[in-house]
Amino acid sequence: MNAPRPDRSSSQRRRSSAAFARARDLIPGGVNSPARAFGAVGGEPIFISAAQGQRLTDIDGNTYLDYIGSWGPMILGHRHPRVVAAIEAALARGTSYGAPTEAESRLAELIIAAVPSVEKVRMVSSGTEAAMSAVRLARGFTHREKIVKFSGNYHGHADSLLVAAGSSAATLGVPDSPGVTAGTARDTVVLDYNEPAQLEEAFRAGGDTIAAVLMEPVVGNMGLVMPTAEFLAAARRLTHEHGAVLVFDEVMTGFRLAPGGAQELLGVTPDLTTLGKIVGGGLPLGAYGGRREIMDHVLPAGKVFQAGTLSGNPLAVAAGTATLEELRDHPPYASLERLGTRLEEGWRAAAARHGVPAWIARAGSMMTMFLQAGPDVVPVTGWTTASRSATARYAEFFWGMMDRGVYLPCSQYEALFISAAHDTDDIDATIAAADAVLAAV
Ligand SMILES: *Cc1c(COP(=O)(O)O)cnc(C)c1O
């Protein structure tokens, strides 16, 4: 197999390289969100000039099959005609009013109809805001201060959620970033995912101080990790028994795994749900919703403050509404499951053929291939096992795929996304590319 060596400063990416040098002078690290900088795989990011359907074009004129989909929102692919038309129609009527519109109620109705736990919903401008607001609401509702989160789960960059922990059992949070105070971090209890005994112990020790348990019901942010039924059941039972609020962060999984998100798929109904990504159809929009009794504590119905100049922005609401209507009218989920199965089986066979130890996890159109050091394949059930991945191997895999025109997540610890615009030929090309690349890693 004479696969070319991954060339991280390929002459085919000269313009991107120059654009990155300029951007680094102007913008910290050259990017407006750190994952875009390709830091986890070494090398330099490509700069995008356009996107259409399942493809991205960079400023050097290369095209790539896109498996990032803007990190989740683009389930219909780029520039879906229905979404483009809705944005154009909204644009013709103005871009922001700072006053209510009927369109917001229409989007709220679509969300409430689709997501089992949501009886009332408030719109914000990002997933970060949704998670931050849900935590404040849970604290305001319960008059308690502590929140429980799980290592390897990402809930945006609000201070109290930028807290991770080692792999040890119940740990009091340590800030994950300079600028997050120890005082803030102390109110966040970090536990291991899929360890119901730790959750049991945390509630036994301080159940009357815990306002909320916040979790990704299917994790996408340490690579894809599925929850066990026991873990989910424990989270639901313990929060209920102790009067804490169970918050499912479905910013990534909402409308991705099923119309009602992971909670529909798994049959577990939380008290609050956060949404983002797909709900905005590629524009900045997030939302949090849940039981009426809890949501009515949000100002001005209740006393928990939360506001936003651009909340419920007409362009974002139009894009989100068109996306959710398209997903309702032409559900892609069965076809995404078929494409996902095909990709999973193709990559698993390729890894086995070339003796590369790999744990492949998939839920519908989300998937991660964890490359490992071997010799045995270790199931990935949480951050402890995920963090043992052979990340240098993943970097090689990533660049090999880039050189073959496949744009994968630029980190081992992110899930890839298949969109409704991908077809069987795209999947087969992606399997063939992986087969060639895995032969060389
Ligand atoms: C992306 C993400 C967020 C943050 O959303 P932003 O819109 O980037 O602020 C929060 N939670 C989860 C699960 C996410 O995947």
8-66+332-438 and 81-329 in the same fold:
no
In degrees and rounded to multiples of 5, residue 348 shows phi and psi of -65, -45
The residue contributing the CA closest to ligand 1 atom 15 is: 252
Per-residue pLDDT at 8: 52
Closest atom, ligand 1, to C-alpha of 221? 15
**Is 253 close to ligand 1, i.e. is its CB under 6 Å away?**
no
Q: Is 417 in the pocket of ligand 1 (CB under 6 A)?
A: no
Residue 9 pLDDT = 54
Strand partners, 403: none
Contacts with 305 (C-beta within 8 Å, 6 or more apart), sequence order: 136, 299
Domain 81-329, classified CATH 3.40.640.10, yes or no: yes
CA of 128, closest atom in ligand 1: 9
Which of 159, 277, 288, 426 is catalytic? The answer is 277
Which of 160, 277, 288, 313, when mutated, tests ligand 1's pocket best, judged by the most ligand atoms within 8 Å of its CB?
A: 277
- Which amino acid makes up residue 81? P
* CATH number of the structural domain 8-66+332-438: 3.90.1150.10
Contact 313, 96 (CB under 8 A): yes
Among residues 64, 154, 288, 413, the one annotated as catalytic is 154
- In this structure, the chain runs to a length of 441
Active-site residue 277, yes or no? yes
Q: How far apart are CA 392 and CA 407, in angstroms?
A: 17
Surface-to-core class of residue 237, CB atoms within 10 Å of its CB (0-12 exposed, 13-18 middle, 19+ buried):
middle
Give the Cα separation of 255 and 302 in Å (integer). 29
Q: Residue 252: CB within 6 Å of ligand 1? A: yes
Per-domain boundaries in the chain: 8-66+332-438, 81-329
* H-run or E-run covering 171: strand 171-172
Say yes or no: CB of residue 150 within 6 Å of ligand 1.
Answer: no
Q: Report whether residue 249 contacts ligand 1, using a CB cutoff of 6 Å.
A: yes
* Region of residue 159 (left: phi > 0; alpha: psi -120 to 50; beta: else): alpha
Going residue by residue through the chain, which has 441 residues, state the pLDDT in tens, using 9 for 90 and above: 344 444 455 679 999 999 999 999 999 999 999 889 998 999 999 999 999 999 999 999 999 999 999 999 999 999 999 999 999 999 999 999 999 999 999 999 999 999 999 999 999 999 999 999 999 999 999 999 999 999 999 999 999 898 863 333 334 555 778 888 888 889 999 999 999 999 999 999 999 999 999 999 999 999 999 999 999 999 999 999 999 999 999 999 999 999 999 999 999 999 999 999 999 999 999 999 999 999 999 999 999 999 999 999 999 999 999 999 999 999 999 999 999 999 999 999 999 999 999 999 999 999 999 999 999 999 999 999 999 999 999 999 999 999 999 999 999 999 999 999 999 999 999 999 999 999 998
- Ligand 1 atom with the smallest distance to the CA of 250 is 13
Name which residue sits closest to atom 5 of ligand 1, judged by CA. 127
Rounded Cα–Cα distance for residues 221 and 200 (Å): 24
